[in-house]
Structure 1
Amino acid sequence: MKPICIIFLSCLTLVSAYGQPEITQSDSVTVTTDTLPPRSAIRKGRLATVIATESALYLGSMAYLQFVWYNGDKRVPFEFYNDTGGYLQVDKFGHAYGAYLESYLGYHALRWAGVSKGKALLYGATLGFVLQAPIEIWDGLYEGWGFSWGDIGANAFGTSLFLVQEHLFDEQRIKYKFSFAASPYARQANGYLGTTSLGQVFNDYNGHTYWLSMSLNRIIQSPKIPAWLCVSVGYSANGMFGEFKNLSYYAGASIPETQRYRQFLLSLDVDWTKIKTRSRFLNRLFKSMFMLKLPFPAIELNSKGQFRTYGLYY
C-alpha cells in the first residue's frame, strides 16, 4: 500500500466524520437510522467540498507517484509481476484494507453531502477500487515493479467488503481494522525495514496486523453485552526480512537468520461508532476511529504450531 494512500485517507477522514448515519441505542441493540436528506435536498456546498477535496487529493497523489515515488525508476514496456506470495500475503491484506477505507470514506462523504444511497454506493463505495487501479497500472510501467493481479484482487475484495454490507444491511456488520506495533526485527535489518517510526509503518510488515471485527452481541445475543463490544479475528506474519525470502546481508552488514511464519489471532475490540456520548467532539472523534483496532488481550496460533497468549496485543 503506497504511502500516498495513507495521506489521502487521513485527510478524507476529516470529511467523513460528519457524514455517518445516526446511531441509536435500544435494549443494547444498535440500530442504524438513515436520516440523511433525499436526493432532492443535496447540499451543494458540501458536495462541492467533497468533490474538490477528493479531486485535489487524487491529483496530488498522482503527482507524488510520478515525481517522488517512481523518481529515478526506469520506464519500461508494460510488464506483469506475480507477488501473490510476497510477505506471506500481509501486503495483500494491506491493499484490501486501503481499498476498504477509501470506499468507506468516499461513501460517507457523499452521504454527508446529501447524495442518495444508490448514487453514493455507485460513486463513493467504489472509490477504493477506482483510486487504486491507476496506481497498479503505473507499477506495470516502471522497472522493479510490475502490474499485479494479486493487488487488483485484494483491492476488489476490500471495496466489495464495504459495498455489499452497506447495500444489504445499511451498515458495516464486519469492520476491517488495522493495528501496528514496531517489531524487534526492524532493529536488526540495518535500515531495510525503515529507519524512522513512520518508515517502519510503511516498510516493516512484521508489525502489521489486519482484523475483521464484529459485534459480540450478534454472535451471543444478550442484553448484558454492550453493542460496542466486538470479537476480532486477525492475521499477521513475522520473521520477514524480504518479500519472498529473507535477506542475509543489507547496507554493508549481516542480517540474522530467522524463520518466516504466519500468525492467526483472536481478540476483543471496540466498535467506536457505537459509543455515544454527550460530547459532540468525542462523537466525531469516535466515528473517525472506526478503522483502528484497540489493544486487547489476544490468543495466537501460528504456522510453527505454537499457541501463545498476550496480556495486551497491539
Structure 2
Amino acid sequence: MVFLPAIGQSQAQNDTLPDAVNKKRLLLLGSGFTVGYTGMIVGLNKAWYDNSERTSFHFFNDNREWQQVDKAGHFWGAFQQSRAGVDMLRWAGVPNRKAILYGGLLGVVLQTPIEVFDGYQADYGASVGDLVANTAGSAALVAQELAWNEVRIMPKFSFHKTKYAQLRPNVLGSNLAERALKDYNGQTYWLTVDVAAFQKEESKWPKWLGVSVGYGAEEMVYNHIETNEALGYQMRRQFYLSPDLNLHRIKTKSKLLNTTFYVLSIFKFPAPTLEYATGKGFKLHPVYF
C-alpha cells in the first residue's frame, strides 16, 4: 500500500469528502497499487515459497492446524487491507457508499492470489478455511462502515520472539522478519473495542482508551497436535484481556502524525495484560507484546 500514508486523515465522515471523484488521485492510487502489490507478491514468494516443492493445483484442509492462529491472521490482514481500500477511495473522492463497497473488496482481492500460490505447494495447498477467513475480515470492515461509518472494533496484531522458531527455522522463520510472518507461537491477534464510540457524547470515557481481547497459542513446533505430542510439545490456546490505545482516534494538526497513527493503529500497543492459557490457568503480564 504505497499511498496509504496519503490517507491518514481520510477515515472521516462524508462532510470532509470531495464533491466529485478526483481522477488524478484515482490514477495515482491505481499505479501505486500496481507497483506495491507486485512488490508484495515478489517479496512473499521469496520469503515463503522460494525453496518449496511445487505441484499441480489442489485444495488442502488445514482447519485443525496451528490452533487456528493462522486463520485469525487472515482475518486481520483482509480487514486492514479493506480498511485501507475504503479510505483510499474516499481520499480520491469516490462517494462514500461506493467507497465502502468497492474498497471493502480489497482484502479478498489481495489475499486470494496467495491461496492460488498455496494451491501449487506440495506440502499443503489452497485452503477453503483461509478463503473464509479472508472474506470474513473484509465483511467485518464493510459491516462496520455501513452501520457506523467508522471502525469501532479494530482487529490488531502483536508479536514477540519465541524459543520455538529456532527448533524449525525452515518453517517458523530464520530471522526476525520471517518469524513475525511464520512463527504462530509469537503472534497474538486482538479485537480492540472503541468504548467511547458506544458511549453518549457527554461521556467522560477517554476517546483514546480502548479495551482489547486477544487470542494466541504456543508450543506449536509442528502443525499437527499428534506430532507435537509425540515429541513432547503440548499445544495450548491463550486468551488475553488488556487496555489499548485507539490511535486512529488521536487527531493532531500534523498530517505526518495523523498518518503515523493511522498506520500504527493496526498494531496492539504493549500494555499490562491478563492471560488465560488452557492447562495453565491465569497469568498477569506487567507488559505484554
Same fold (TM > 0.5) = yes
**Structure ranking higher in helix proportion:** 2
User: Any idea what SS the aligned residue of 2:85 has?
Assistant: helix
Q: How is 1:217-228 mapped onto 2 (pairs within 5 angstroms)?
A: 217-218=196-197, 223-228=203-208
Counterpart for residue 313 of structure 1? 288
Does the CA contact (< 8 Å) of 2:242 and 2:272 recur in 1? yes
Q: What is the 5 A alignment of 1:36-75?
A: 36-38=17-19, 41-63=20-42, 69-71=48-50, 73-75=52-54
Alignment of 1:155-174 (within 5 A): 155-174=134-153
Q: Which residue of 1 aligns with 2:67?
A: 88
**Letter in structure 1 aligned against 2:123:** G
Asked if the contact 1:42/1:113 (under 8 Å) is kept, the reply is yes
Structure 1 residue 283, shift from structure 2 partner: 2.1
Q: 1:309 to 1:122 in 2, by over 3 A?
A: same
Counterpart pick for 1:126 among 100, 105, 111 = 105
The equivalent residue for 2:255 is: 280
1:266–1:300 CA contact under 8 A, matched in 2: yes
- Aligned pairs for 1:213-292 within 5 A: 213-218=192-197, 223-245=203-225, 257-292=232-267
Could you list the per-position Cα deviations for residues 127-182 of structure 1 after superposition, in whole angstroms to 9, with x for gaps in the alignment? 00122112212322332231211000100111011011011110011011111111
1:69 deviates by 4.8
Counterparts of residues 111-122 of structure 1 (less than 5 Å): 111-122=90-101
Q: Is the CA contact (8 Å cut-off) linking 1:298 and 1:310 kept in structure 2?
A: yes
Instruction: Go from structure 1 to structure 2 and tell me whether the alpha carbon gap of 1:256 and 1:191 turns closer, same or farther (over 3 Å shift).
Output: farther
Instruction: For residue 212 of structure 2, give the secondary structure of its aligned residue in structure 1.
Output: strand
Q: What is aligned with 2:5?
A: 14
In 1, Cα distance between equivalents of 2:116 and 2:256:
40
Q: Distance in 2 between matches of 1:80 and 1:90?
A: 19
Q: What letter is aligned with 1:226? A: P
Q: Matches of 1:16 and 1:286 in 2, distance apart? A: 11
Aligned counterparts, 1:190-201, within 5 A: 192-201=171-180
Aligned partners of 1:223, 1:257: CA distance in 2, in Å?
52
2:234 counterpart SS class: coil
In structure 1, list runs of 5 or more residues that go unmatched: 1-8, 22-31, 249-254
The code of the aligned residue for 2:149 comes to D
**Matching residue's letter, 1:42:** V
Q: Select 2:16's aligned residue among 11, 25, 35.
A: 35
Q: Indicate conservation of the 8 Å contact 1:103/1:159, yes or no.
A: yes
**Bigger mean CA deviation after superposition, 218-227 or 140-149:** 218-227
Structure 2 counterpart of 1:313, which letter? Y
Residues 227-247 of structure 1, C-alpha deviation per residue, up to 9 Å, x if partnerless? 110001100001110112476
Q: 1:97 maps to what in 2?
A: 76
Q: Once structures 1 and 2 are overlaid, which stretch shifts more, 87-96 or 140-149?
A: 140-149
8 Å contact from structure 1 (residues 211, 293) kept in 2 = yes
Change (3 A) 1:68 1:143: same
1:211-254 deviation digits (Å, cap 9, x = unpaired): 01112335676733211100011000011101124767xxxxxx
**Distance of aligned partners of 1:118 and 1:175 in 2 relative to their CA distance in 1, 3 Å threshold:** same
Q: Distance between the aligned counterparts of 1:191 and 1:138, measured in 2?
A: 18
Distance in structure 2 (CA, Å) of the matches to 1:198 and 1:159: 25
How many residues get paired?
A: 287
Q: Offset of 1:89 from its aligned partner? A: 0.4
Question: Which letter maps to 2:129?
Answer: G
Q: Secondary structure at the match of 2:237?
A: strand
1:254-294 Cα offsets, whole Å, 9 max, x none, are x9733210001111001101112343332222122221111
- The alignment's TM-score, normalised by the length of structure 1, stands at 0.83
From 82, 107, 126, give the equivalent of 1:147. Answer: 126
AA at the equivalent of 1:211: W
Q: Bigger CA drift: 59-68 or 126-135?
A: 59-68
- In 2, Cα distance between the equivalents of 1:242 and 1:113? 45
Give the AA of the match of 1:37.
P
Deviation per CA, 1:71-109: give whole Å up to 9, x if none. Answer: 454543331100011110000001111111110111111
**Partner of 2:154 in structure 1?**
175
Q: Percent identity?
A: 38
